[in-house]
Amino acid sequence: MPILKSNQAADGERHSRKQLRLHSSIARDLGMRIVSGGYRPGHVLAGEIEASGQLKVSRSAYREAVRMLAAKGLVQSRTRTGTRVSAVEQWHLLDPDVLTWVFAGEPELEVLQGLFELRTIIEPEAAALAAARRSDKNLQIMRGALERMSQHTLNVEAGRIADKEFHSELLRATRNPFIISLTNGVASAVHALTEFKQRAQALKRDPLPEHWHVFEAIAHQDAQAARAAMAELIQLAIHDMPVKRWPENWTDSRLVRDSESI
Amino acid sequence: MPILKSNQAADGERHSRKQLRLHSSIARDLGMRIVSGGYRPGHVLAGEIEASGQLKVSRSAYREAVRMLAAKGLVQSRTRTGTRVSAVEQWHLLDPDVLTWVFAGEPELEVLQGLFELRTIIEPEAAALAAARRSDKNLQIMRGALERMSQHTLNVEAGRIADKEFHSELLRATRNPFIISLTNGVASAVHALTEFKQRAQALKRDPLPEHWHVFEAIAHQDAQAARAAMAELIQLAIHDMPVKRWPENWTDSRLVRDSESI
DNA sequence: GGCCATTAATTTCTCAGACAAATGCTATCT
DNA sequence: AGATAGCATTTGTCTGAGAAATTAATGGCC
């Protein structure tokens, strides 16, 4: 039996798009399997020997993958017990990779709602902070992103990247490290989401005017206007999602927000 | 020369409190060194051979530690270039471990401000959502936590844990997976912070009344009252921090919030 | 002299196999 | 029946050797 290690030929489907390292691609595969419900919380993964054997990789590569997933709160390893999938509450859902994996497939309605709810809470306030603290450089980058966005439109990858850049730079302008840290994660999610939206149906409406409203308010350092414009932008994004009916308690949360402008 | 691997005796200070695995304690040490500014962004770590040699651990243990840090966005590894500390914007600051490491030392004023700003944005809205969606079980757990909190007070570890449980259960009651995911991280940070506060000076004031106000509002499903009570609670927490002077733009952010109640 | 291809060197990456440590389980003894 | 000691299983750690990737250097060619 020859010891030929024809990795390239043997695995048919691994690391589909980017040239990830072996451990990263294993982590990605396992991670997606977990967040998509393939491996439920509480499920015990196959032992290191068996699992690495099935994947035809070394134990070390597999172990490094598991260690990455553990660092993201998806699994937990113990001697003798094995490696088991953690409860959902333990998952680091705001981790950029996890978020990407969650929105790589068809995201569930509840999850979709949860993300928009978070954005509804954070991004208007972030826009207000950005209006108060933005530098001219922030403004310049945001303008450039919007201009490229209007050139390409959201139907093209380049346009979606420009959209992502706009939101990233906006959050960066808040000068709050924690809010900035949300950037990467939420940005990837929104990016994947826009792709999903586009996949389901061509965009109904051009979201550019609202983006410019936000930009103008931040340019004029008008915090209140920036908050209102961003809230409007997100509401429209929610409305444009190809979703038939939002859950019943969704309207509650909007009611909650509306009541604050009394 | 005997090959005795007297790990226990050799390393004087590693895994100080909990019995972490070797790779986890290495990750913790390196991670704390990074977030505390010992290794600046852009700094290239020593090669695997040298680094593992200095720490007197195997390459695999060291590699697994680095892989964990990479999963948290703190470092990035490339062949030939080596492993280098990522830019701060890449750090997953909301990762529970990272947050713990950040607040393990004396946190910088800006970071402190950033965390409170995030809490000011999220937790009042979370309280409002919790008021709308809480179950009786949520309520029961929160009441229990508050009762234990009043028994022990925040000067004792048990009291701080109860405080953490209260906030965790509150966020859990929002039924929003992403907000819940923030729980673990922010909770650890607040926990470490309360310790820090307590270390610097005995608590000025008993924060229990505000906690009960929040609880009552949520119990009565009064979203608006819950939001207001939680905002008040956080403002008082900020005020009780042993900080001489908050940065100049901090008042701006409060001004921003005040303007919304017009 | 400048540009391009080729080679070399360095660092992480992957593999293999062995032993150590931790811990749940079981059988045995009281 | 309960405690205790041994056993088995799983992850954890160590060692050493190549493989792959990527930057730097080198030399040939125009």
Domain boundaries, chain A: 16-90, 96-261
Contacts of A88 in chain B (CB under 8 A): 177
Q: From the candidates B48, B67, B101, B133, which should be mutated to test the interface with A, based on the most A CB atoms within 10 A?
A: B67
Nucleotides of D under 7 A from a protein CB: 8-17, 20-23
Q: What is the pLDDT of residues B6-39, one digit of tens each?
A: 333 334 345 445 689 999 999 999 999 999 999 9
Q: What is the CATH number of domain B14-90?
A: 1.10.10.10
Rounded to whole angstroms, how far apart are CA atoms B36 and A143? Answer: 35
Find, in chain A, the residue whose alpha carbon is nearest to that of B179: A118
Residues in chain B, how many? 262
Q: Does domain B96-259 have CATH number 1.20.120.530?
A: yes
Among B163, B161, B190, smallest CA distance to B103 is for B190
Q: Which residue is nearest to nucleotide C25 (CA to C1')?
A: A80
Regions of chain B where pLDDT drops below 50: 1-13, 15-16, 255, 258-262
Asked if the Cβ–Cβ distance from A67 to B67 is below 8 Å, we say: yes
Q: Which fold has domain A16-90?
A: Arc Repressor Mutant, subunit A (1.10.10)
Q: How far is CA B217 from CA A258, B129, B136, B225, in A?
A: 18, 11, 14, 6
Interface of B with A in 129-168 (CB under 8 A): 129, 132-133
- Round to a whole number and report the distance in Å from the CA of B48 to the C1' of C10: 12
Interface mutation vs chain B, best among A88, A134, A181, most B CBs within 10 Å: A181
The Cα–Cα gap between A182 and A193 comes to 16
- Kindly determine whether residue A132 and residue B71, on different chains, have CB atoms separated by under 8 Å: no
Contact, A170 vs A127, CB < 8 A? yes
Residue A197 pLDDT: 73
A82-85 and B75-78 strand pairing = unpaired
Q: Residues B199-207: contacts with CB within 8 Å, 24+ apart?
A: B200/B242, B201/B242, B202/B155, B203/B153, B203/B154, B203/B155, B203/B240, B204/B240, B205/B236, B205/B240, B206/B153, B207/B154, B207/B233, B207/B236, B207/B237, B207/B240
- Given this model, what pLDDT does residue B155 score? 83
Does B177 contact A90 at a Cβ distance shorter than 8 Å? no
Could you tell me the pTM of the whole model? 0.89
CA distance B143 to B215: 8
Q: For residue A88, give the DSSP letter.
A: G
CA distance A64 to B67: 7
Give the right CATH number for A96-261 from 3.30.420.40, 1.20.1290.10, 1.20.120.530, 3.40.50.800. Answer: 1.20.120.530
Counting Cα atoms < 13 Å in the Cβ hemisphere of B230 gives 27
State the pLDDT at residue A182.
Answer: 85
pLDDT in tens, B155-174: 888 888 899 999 999 999 99
Using CB atoms within 10 Å of the CB of residue B78, give its burial: 0 to 12 exposed, 13 to 18 middle, 19+ buried: exposed
Measured CA to CA, the distance from residue A133 to residue B182 in angstroms comes to: 25
Interface A–B counts its CB contacts (< 8 A) at: 150
Q: Residues 33-92, chain A: which have Cβ within 8 Å of B?
A: 60, 63-64, 67-73, 88-92
pLDDT in tens, chain A (262 residues): 333 333 333 343 454 556 899 999 999 999 999 999 999 999 999 999 999 999 999 999 999 999 999 999 999 999 999 999 999 999 999 999 999 999 988 888 889 999 999 999 999 999 999 999 999 999 999 999 999 999 998 888 888 889 999 999 999 999 999 999 987 788 878 887 777 777 776 667 788 999 999 999 999 999 999 999 999 999 998 888 877 677 766 655 554 554 444 3
Please name the residue whose C-alpha is nearest to the C1' of nucleotide C10: B80
In the block, which residue shows the tokens 């290239």?
B44
